Amino acid sequence: MGGIFLWIQILLIVLILVLSIKKSITYFSKLVPRESGFFMSHHAVLFLGILAFVWGIFTQLVGLVQALNAIIEAADVSPALIIMGLRNSFINPVIGLGTLLAAALFWALLHGRYTSFKKQD
């Protein structure tokens, strides 16, 4: 239904979940976290959430351009069909926004725990 665009968003969601779980295990265990590169740190969770939201907006714009081209080529298009397509075009941005909100929550929890380790040093 969502095509390749939706699969990329699903991949981003899975990456966010895996990284959040991995960092949660590290930060909430008795081990002191060590410094890691950006893409292995908790900051990558927020970055991937923002990327998912921007990807959702981008895919909506691509879909709207394709829909407008189809409307131009068609002789007669019903208003109900246009509204239904417009409604469907908001699926990817809504999924991206939900992903961003969840990633921001995960990031805030992880960042709070990470900074508590840094204050103890």
Digit-by-digit pLDDT tens for the chain (121 residues) are 667 888 999 999 999 999 999 888 888 886 666 666 665 678 899 999 999 999 999 999 998 998 889 888 887 888 888 898 888 889 999 999 999 999 999 999 998 888 877 666 5
Element of type H or E holding 30: none
| Separation of alpha carbons 36 and 22, rounded Å | 13
pLDDT of res. 34:
66
pLDDT of res. 121:
56
| Separation of alpha carbons 88 and 110, rounded Å | 34
pLDDT of res. 8:
93
Q: pTM (2 decimals)?
A: 0.84
Element of type H or E holding 90: none
Tokens of residue 52, six digits? 């998912």
pLDDT of res. 100:
96
pLDDT of res. 42:
86
